[in-house]
């Protein structure tokens, strides 16, 4: 977990590789659907381009499908999900029905000025259609309203692991590996 621009996608890819489990990024799945012009992509794009969350019903169904695939049986790393209280409830139900559980919830902590600067840079480099300044501001607001409260929820469940997300990518990876007590 962490606000837009915290580095979730970058770190999740590395950690999933280290763990040998699939990296499931809801943002990447939505973007792949947008670029292929699927009905899911056409629906999701309306929300993504405005900096809003895709409705829970759509997102939950997509994650439910993905987690049912065979490659998720030994484990998986979720990136960008859950992001709302309702998604937390759905995820708990999905995991319950497959007798799986979360091992940890990792939060990358960053300061807001730093993430805005990163996102503006990413906009220039990659041209993501949701990386314009107005949309970035809205995505941050939505994060603080809807997703930040989940951090307390997972803290009370004893699952929360917080890692400082500032600095070089490899330094942050090192902190995550240490915090989760993984072999690298």
**Which of these is catalytic: 64, 66, 122, 138?**
122
DSSP string, the chain: ---TTSSHHHHHHHHHHHHTS-EEEHHHHHHHHHHHT-HHHHHHHHHHTTTPPPPHHHHHHHHHHHHTSGGGTT--EEES---SHHHHHHHHHHHHHTT---S-EEEEE--HHHHHHHHHHHHHHH--TT-SHHHHHHHHHHIIIIIHHHHHHHHHTT-EEEEE--S-HHHHHHHHHHHTT---
Active site residue 139: yes
83 is catalytic: yes
Q: Toward ligand ADP, which CB reaches closer, 61 or 178?
A: 61
- Annotated catalytic residue 8: yes
Q: Is 154 in the site for ligand ADP (CB under 6 A)?
A: no
Check binding of 76 to ligand ADP (CB under 6 A).
Answer: no
155 is catalytic: no
Rounded least distance, CB 107 to ligand ADP, Å: 13
Rounded-to-integer distance, Cα 125 and Cα 128, Å: 9
Of the residues 11, 33, 59, 173, which one makes contact with ligand ADP according to CB under 6 A: 59
Contact with ligand ADP (CB under 6 A) among 7, 11, 15, 81: 81
Report in angstroms how near the CB of residue 39 gets to ligand ADP at its nearest: 16
Does a cis peptide bond (omega within 30 degrees of 0) precede residue 44? no
Q: Which CB, 87 or 173, lies closer to ligand ADP? A: 87
Residue 139 or 154 with smaller CB distance to ligand ADP: 139
To ligand ADP, the closest distance from the beta carbon of 5 in angstroms equals: 6
Which single residue brings its beta carbon nearest to ligand ADP? Answer: 27
Helix axes 148-156, 85-97, angle to 10 degrees: 40
Interface residue list for ligand ADP (CB under 6 A): 4-5, 8, 26-27, 30, 47-48, 53-54, 59, 80-81, 83, 87, 130, 139
Catalytic residues: 8, 83, 122, 128, 139
């Amino acid at each position: 977990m962490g606000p837009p621009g915290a580095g979730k996608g970058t770190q999740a890819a590395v950690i999933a590789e280290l763990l040998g489990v699939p990296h499931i990024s809801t943002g990447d799945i939505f973007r792949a659907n947008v670029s292929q012009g699927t009905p899911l992509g056409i629906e999701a794009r309306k929300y993504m381009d405005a900096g809003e969350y895709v409705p829970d019903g759509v997102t939950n169904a997509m994650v439910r499908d993905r987690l049912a695939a065979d490659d998720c049986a030994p484990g998986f790393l979720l990136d960008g999900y859950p992001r709302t209280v309702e998604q937390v409830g759905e995820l708990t139900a999905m995991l319950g029905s497959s007798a799986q559980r979360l091992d940890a919830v990792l939060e990358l902590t960053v300061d807001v000025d730093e993430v805005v600067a990163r996102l503006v840079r990413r906009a220039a480099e990659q041209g993501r259609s949701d990386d314009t300044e107005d949309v970035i501001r809205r995505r941050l607001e939505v994060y603080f309203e809807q997703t930040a409260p989940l951090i307390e929820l997972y803290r009370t469940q004893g699952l929360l692991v917080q890692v400082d997300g500032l600095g070089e990518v490899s330094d942050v990876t090192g902190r995550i590996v240490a915090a989760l007590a993984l072999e690298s």
